Amino acid sequence: MRQSRRPGELIFSLYLDRYEHSLRHVATHLLLKDLSEASVRECLDAGRCFVAFDWLADSQGFQFHLQSNGDTTQLGGRTQLHSDSRLKGRSPLPCCWKIIRNGERLSETIGSELDLHIDQPGIYRCETWLTVAGSEMTWIMTNPIYVDRTPQ
């Protein structure tokens, strides 16, 4: 049975946290070359950053990059695929590493370190998850690393 509503009657209510409260829950970590305004701007432009819910656990020391052909590619970077291309990561706590390639989950592993061989070009990013009070919670989300096909 459908109930009729009167004009001005409240039919739905939603409370959203104020920005001052919400922004305390997530931190953007910048991988700076030095401590200067120019370095901050360059870092943000290059995408060398990740976000973390540090209220779950301190993310200090977190690392995620690609090693290939003797070089290291940081977050936001672009490189070419080689036979030795590996995604590497280190976490201050054991966590569930979820590797996303082109928007789809490629791999999932648990531990304090990640070492994953990749053999396809794509856009790779990482999510780490922690188990807190029996629930899986997102902890860290990285910007992508762009891996192009090696020219023939």
In a domain? residue 1: no
More confident residue, 12 or 35: 35
Average pLDDT rounded to a whole number, residues 70-97: 97
- pLDDT per position as a tens digit, 21-49: 656 678 899 999 999 999 999 999 999 99
Give the pLDDT score at 25.
Answer: 78
Which alpha helices (H) appear in the chain, and where do they start and end?
Answer: 19-22, 37-46
Q: Which tokens is 87 given?
A: 């995604």
CA dist., res. 55 & res. 138, Å (int) = 11
Residues 6+ apart with CB under 8 A from 116: 86, 87, 88, 99, 107, 109
Please give the model's pTM, rounded to 2 decimal places: 0.82
Give the pLDDT score at 15.
Answer: 64
Residues 6+ apart with CB under 8 A from 8: none
- pLDDT per position as a tens digit, 116-135: 999 999 999 999 999 998 99
CA dist., res. 13 & res. 126, Å (int) = 35
In a domain? residue 99: yes
Q: CATH no. for residue 26?
A: 2.60.40.10
In a domain? residue 79: yes
Give the pLDDT score at 57.
Answer: 93
20 has pLDDT over 70: no
Domain count of the fold of the chain: 1
Q: What residue numbers bound the domain in which 68 lies? A: 19-148
